[in-house]
Structure 1
Amino acid sequence: MTFNPLRERGIPLDDQLRNWRELNVDPIDPDHADPYTRCRIIAMNGIETEAIFFSHHLARHCDNIDLKQQLARVRYIEAQQQKAVNWLLPGVSSVLETTLAYEQVAVDLTAWVARMEPDGYLKQAYQFGVLEDFDHLYRYANLYEMIERRKAEKIVDGLTEVMPGRPTYLHHRDPVDNVREPYDRSTTAPISKLHALTIMAAEQQTMNFYMNVGPMYMEPIARRLYQEIGLIEEEHVTHYESLVDPGESWWEMLLNHEYNECYMYYSFMETESDPRVKNIWELHLNMELEHLRLAGELFKRHDGRDPEQVCASELPAPVTFEPNKAYLRELIATQIDYTTLGTGYVQEAHERFQKMQDALMGGDKAPSERVIEENRARSGQEYRLQTEGEHPVHSLAYHR
């Protein structure tokens, strides 16, 4: 059955305000919930957070008080949605357990998008990034074992493997080499726009999360690892946000944001295993349909075009959280030694990369390398979770 959110009517905006009792949702059970339910919660929180940030930026560039007021009304509802979504996470989970879940989101969401992306250049951007998130999961899993004495399979439940990807210290690049070429808004497939917004939003919330929680640890190795990976997340946000065509007007960007929210809530409603959480996705979808309608009216008024000229007339296949083990192993086997040069990719070290490495490392090992060494010393071996066979070993052309 096709679903065209541009033709559907949702809950009127005046009926969307919720009281405290309705917003105070019960969190999921961390010991019995489907790990991918937690992933959907984290991903959707990133989407809502990006929607709120974007609306604020739009309002700051808008000189019409009536438009500012309409944006504020919708934005307040978005903020309520974000609270309901994010408050589904259990308070008993440690920061590091939530971190492992964030990286599971990054791995399996980005891998799925890479598999589904029709544009070769955009696909390469997601393939490149996912091998770095994959390695971050491995580094945090070793930190988790070292300071909390627990195994990461408690969080990822064997759905996502935990083993080395592209080594984290090799992710530090000259900032200019993190900028990609944007898609062309006039020719790119609508699904490509949704993919770019989704992964940008997911990486942005991870960057913000690490910026804030890193100093909460007393252990020096934890503080250093969050600092290192937090810097790489900034690189990832630059990498993904530059894929979006900057020639889109504010109203086209608003329309794309609202359409993407409808797409993500619809996707998670269709794939959710927890009936209670599924009801929240359905409720929020019906709210977002009205937000999309309002954005469409603004787009028609200010851009003079019909929303169906830039958005798909029906939603694509649902975004799905699922294991991507074979796909990731294939990428490890073929692309682990990639780095960036300008807006392209190379498999050899180059002058800017080496200069950045030398300046940042200062002759010392990176925290991401130290955490593995320290966990080996404390636990007897490093932590890995491989569910089948052995993963291939590679020598990196620019490995120091």
Structure 2
Amino acid sequence: MTFDPLRERGIPLDGQLRNWRELNVTPIDPDHADPYTRCRVIAMNGIEVEAIQFSHRLARHCPDLEVRQQLARVRYIEAQQQKVVGWLLPGVSSVLEMTIAYEQVAVDLTAWVARMEPDAYLKQAYQFGVLEDFDHLYRYANLYEMIERRKAEKIVDGLTEVMPGRPAHLHHRDPMDNVREPYNRENTAPVSKLHALTIMSAEQQTMNFYMNVGPMYMEPIARQLYQEIGLIEEEHVTHYESLVDPGESWWERLLNHEYNECYLYHSFMETESDPKVRAIWELHLNMELEHLRLAAELFKKHDGRDPEQVCAPELPAPVTFEPNKAYLRELLATQIDYTTLGTGYVRAAHERFERMREAIMGGEKAPSERVIEDNRERSGHEYRLQTEGEHPVGSLADHR
């Protein structure tokens, strides 16, 4: 059965305000919850944070008092939604446990989007990025074993493998080589716009998380690893945000944000295994339908077009968290030795790549390399979680 959020009606805005009791949700069970429920919570938190931040940016550029007041009303509800979603996470998880969960989100969400993306250039962008998130999961899993004496399989539950991807010390590129060509808003499939906005928001959340939690550690190797991967996450946000057509008007961007929230809440409602969490996804979907209606009215008034000219006539296939082991192994076998040059991809290191690595490494090994060596020394091995075999390593991965 098709679902067109532009034709559905949700809860009127005046009926969306919740009191403290309603906001005080029960967090998911850290020991028994489906790991993908936690992934959906983390992903949706990032989507809500992006919606709030975008609304603030729009308000700062909007001279119309009445519009700014409407944005403020919707934004406060978005902030309440974010508090409910974010507070579903249990407070017992350590920073490193949350970090590993964030990277599981990055791996399986980006891999799913790459599999579903119809545009070849955009697909390549997701395939390129996911091999780096895959490696980040491996580095943090080794830090987790070394510092907390626990194994990442407790968190990822075997749904996501933990092994080397494109080595992190090879992720440090000249900033200009992190900028991609944007999609064309005139002829790009609506689902491609949703994919770009979703992965940009998720990576932005991860970047912000690492910026804030990295200095909370005392262990030098932990502080340094968060610094290194935090810088790479900045590269990833640049990589993904540059996919969005900068020619989209503020009103078109607002419409896309609200449509994407409807898409993701509907997706997670359809795929959620926890009934209590599913009820939250359903409630928030019914709120977002009204936010979308209001955004559509602003789009028609200020952009002069009908929302149907921009948005899909029905929601695409639900965004699904599921294992992507075979797909990732295929990418590891065929694309691990990629780097970027300008807005494209090459298999060989080039002058700007070499110059950047030399400048940032300073003649020393990267923290992402040292954390593996340190864990081997302390634990007698490096941590991996694999279901079968090893993956091949290409020429760039062997580059020193």
TM-score interval w.r.t. the shorter chain? over 0.9
How far off its partner does 1:397 sit? 6.5
Secondary structure of 2:345's aligned partner: strand
Match in the other structure for 2:108: 108
Match in the other structure for 1:149: 149
AA aligned opposite 2:302: H
How far off its partner does 1:398 sit? 6.2
Match in the other structure for 1:130: 130
AA aligned opposite 1:82: Q
Secondary structure of 1:213's aligned partner: helix
Q: Is the 8 A contact 1:258 1:295 kept in 2?
A: yes
AA aligned opposite 1:95: V
CA distance in structure 2 between the partners assigned to 1:2 and 1:97 by the alignment: 38
How far off its partner does 1:389 sit? 3.0
CA distance in structure 1 between the partners assigned to 2:197 and 2:185 by the alignment: 13
Match in the other structure for 2:252: 252
Correspondences of 1:1-400 after superposition (within 5 Å): 1-396=1-396, 399-400=399-400
TM-score where L is the length of structure 2: 0.99
AA aligned opposite 2:4: N
Q: Deviations over 1:253-273 (max 9, x none)?
A: 000000000000000000000
AA aligned opposite 1:204: Q
Runs of 4+ more than 4 Å apart: none
Q: Is the 8 A contact 1:198 1:260 kept in 2?
A: yes
How far off its partner does 1:399 sit? 1.0
Secondary structure of 1:322's aligned partner: coil
Q: Is the 8 A contact 2:349 2:396 kept in 1?
A: no
Secondary structure of 1:340's aligned partner: strand
Secondary structure of 2:340's aligned partner: strand
Is there any run of 5+ residues in structure 1 with no aligned partner, and where?
A: none
How far off its partner does 1:395 sit? 4.0
CA distance in structure 1 between the partners assigned to 2:175 and 2:394 by the alignment: 26
Secondary structure of 1:316's aligned partner: coil
Q: Deviations over 1:158-200 (max 9, x none)?
A: 0000000000010000000000000000000000000000000
How far off its partner does 1:388 sit? 2.5
Q: Is the 8 A contact 2:103 2:136 kept in 1?
A: yes
CA distance in structure 2 between the partners assigned to 1:376 and 1:300 by the alignment: 60
AA aligned opposite 2:341: L
Q: Deviations over 1:79-125 (max 9, x none)?
A: 00000000000100000000000000000000000000000000000
AA aligned opposite 1:298: L
Secondary structure of 2:280's aligned partner: helix
Secondary structure of 1:345's aligned partner: strand
CA distance in structure 2 between the partners assigned to 1:360 and 1:24 by the alignment: 45
Q: Deviations over 1:125-146 (max 9, x none)?
A: 0000000000000000000000
Secondary structure of 1:259's aligned partner: helix
How far off its partner does 1:390 sit? 3.0
Secondary structure of 2:281's aligned partner: helix
AA aligned opposite 2:253: M
Secondary structure of 2:10's aligned partner: coil
CA distance in structure 1 between the partners assigned to 2:305 and 2:394 by the alignment: 51
Secondary structure of 1:43's aligned partner: helix
CA distance in structure 2 between the partners assigned to 1:311 and 1:223 by the alignment: 43
CA distance in structure 1 between the partners assigned to 2:35 and 2:361 by the alignment: 36
How far off its partner does 1:341 sit? 0.3
Q: Is the 8 A contact 1:348 1:398 kept in 2?
A: no
CA distance in structure 2 between the partners assigned to 1:143 and 1:398 by the alignment: 22
TM-score where L is the length of structure 1: 0.99
CA distance in structure 2 between the partners assigned to 1:175 and 1:395 by the alignment: 22
Secondary structure of 1:352's aligned partner: helix
How far off its partner does 1:387 sit? 1.6
Secondary structure of 1:26's aligned partner: coil
CA distance in structure 2 between the partners assigned to 1:316 and 1:330 by the alignment: 25
Secondary structure of 2:261's aligned partner: helix
CA distance in structure 1 between the partners assigned to 2:193 and 2:37 by the alignment: 25
Is there any run of 5+ residues in structure 2 with no aligned partner, and where?
A: none
Secondary structure of 1:2's aligned partner: coil
Q: Is the 8 A contact 2:203 2:236 kept in 1?
A: yes
CA distance in structure 2 between the partners assigned to 1:255 and 1:394 by the alignment: 42
AA aligned opposite 2:306: D
Q: Deviations over 1:246-287 (max 9, x none)?
A: 000000000000000000000000000000000000000000
CA distance in structure 2 between the partners assigned to 1:137 and 1:394 by the alignment: 20
Percent of aligned pairs with the same residue? Answer: 88
How far off its partner does 1:292 sit? 0.1
AA aligned opposite 2:48: E
CA RMSD of aligned residues (A): 0.7
AA aligned opposite 1:344: G
Q: Is the 8 A contact 2:37 2:274 kept in 1?
A: yes
